[in-house]
Amino acid sequence: MSTKYSKIAVFTSGGDAPGMNAAVRAVVRTAIYHDIEVYGIYRGYEGMIDGDIKKLTKGAVGNIIHRGGTVLRTARSEEFRTVEGRAEAAKQLKKHGIEACIAIGGNGTFTGALKFSEEHQIPFIGLPGTIDNDIYGSDYTIGFDTAINTAVDCIDKIRDTAYSHSRLFFVEVMGRHAGYIALYSGIASGAGSIFLPETETPLDDLIDRLNKAAKRKKLFNMVVVAEGNQNGTAEEIAAKVAARTNHETRVTIIGHLQRGGSPTAQDRVLASQLGYSAVHALLNGEKNVAIGIVNDEIAITPFNDAIYKAKPMNDDMLRMAEILAL
């Protein structure tokens, strides 16, 4: 390890994701092990501008690994988008003697970190914290596993009602630009069809599939809809299907339930691995990179790639989802 730091900071930004607290805990305890002081920036970039910065100890991050949300809070910051806002943020960091930052968030967080670092020469390391699982350079993001388990639990409960009343249910999950939650929860819950932003699913195909299911006396069906799919909201799709078939349709929007709750063991372990590795990346001289996991190995991806490269869907997963739903 070639680079020395006396003080670093950690913060969470963008949408909260289960496991963020485990990542903060790992950063703090790993840094302290290497005799580095750690400061928590509260409310993301907004708190950085306001100077809402406090020193963190091992005790300060005790008893948080199991908690959902983020103890450091999060906020959107329009002011940070301005040159003046970023200058004020840099002033606050320098006031506290902070030499580098570890940012936990998604594409927007990484974009802000890269711009800020280029202007003020403060190294940043990014950790992918988003339930959407849409960050290039990591097979999984912090919070994704918890989100899909929450979605599957909800869908399983809806299935009981769908079966009891012989109804067709449309369940809308989060995913404006990425359909990973819909794909994984749809496969895990045995959905009859899945609507994703990345693929086109003609309404005629769904109706044909429903008719085939009816011929083999299937009494109910579940359709999982990512909110950003090309056919509209779950309400809109359900209305179109109801107008063209005899199915009695119902719609459930899971919403922000997917962001909350205690993180799964997998998210806690992933967040701990990434937080630990982020500190060591700084000590190894890395800057302006995202830390992820690829094929169960820690991977380092330049911010430019993590931000601008699209994370492709696995074609085999898409094909499997189609075949298993027949």
Give yes or no: residues 93 and 182 share one domain. Answer: no
Please tell me whether residues 178 and 204 are part of one structural domain. Answer: yes
Does the pLDDT at position 155 exceed 70? Answer: yes
The predicted-structure confidence for 68-94, as pLDDT tens digits, reads as follows 999 999 998 999 999 999 999 999 999
- Indicate if 123 and 245 belong to the same structural domain: no
| Block residue for tokens 């005629």 | 204
Chain segment 97-146, per-residue pLDDT in tens: 999 999 999 999 999 999 999 999 999 999 999 999 999 999 999 999 99
Confidence at residue 216, expressed as pLDDT on a 0 to 100 scale:
73
Q: How far are the Cα atoms of 186, 222, 230, 233 from residue 191, in angstroms, in the given order?
A: 5, 5, 18, 17
Residues 156 and 119 occupy one common structural domain: no
Q: Please check whether residues 17 and 126 belong to one and the same domain.
A: yes
Alpha helix (H) ranges present in the chain? 20-33, 44-50, 83-95, 107-120, 144-165, 180-188, 203-215, 234-244, 265-283, 303-308, 315-324
The verdict on residue 49 lying in a domain is yes
Number of domains making up the chain:
2
Is the same domain home to 25 and 123? yes
- pTM higher than 0.75 for the full model? yes
Residues spanned by the domain of 204: 144-259
Establish if 132 belongs to a structural domain.
yes
Band of pLDDT at residue 18, cut at 50, 70 and 90: very high
Catalytic positions, written as ranges: 132
Please check whether residues 103 and 220 belong to one and the same domain. Answer: no
The answer to whether residue 297 sits within a structural domain is yes
Question: Which amino acid is present at 164?
Answer: S
User: Both 110 and 215 in a single domain?
Assistant: no
- Pair 181, 144: CB distance under 8 Å: yes
The answer on 160 and 139 residing in a single domain is: no
| 96 occurs within a structural domain | yes
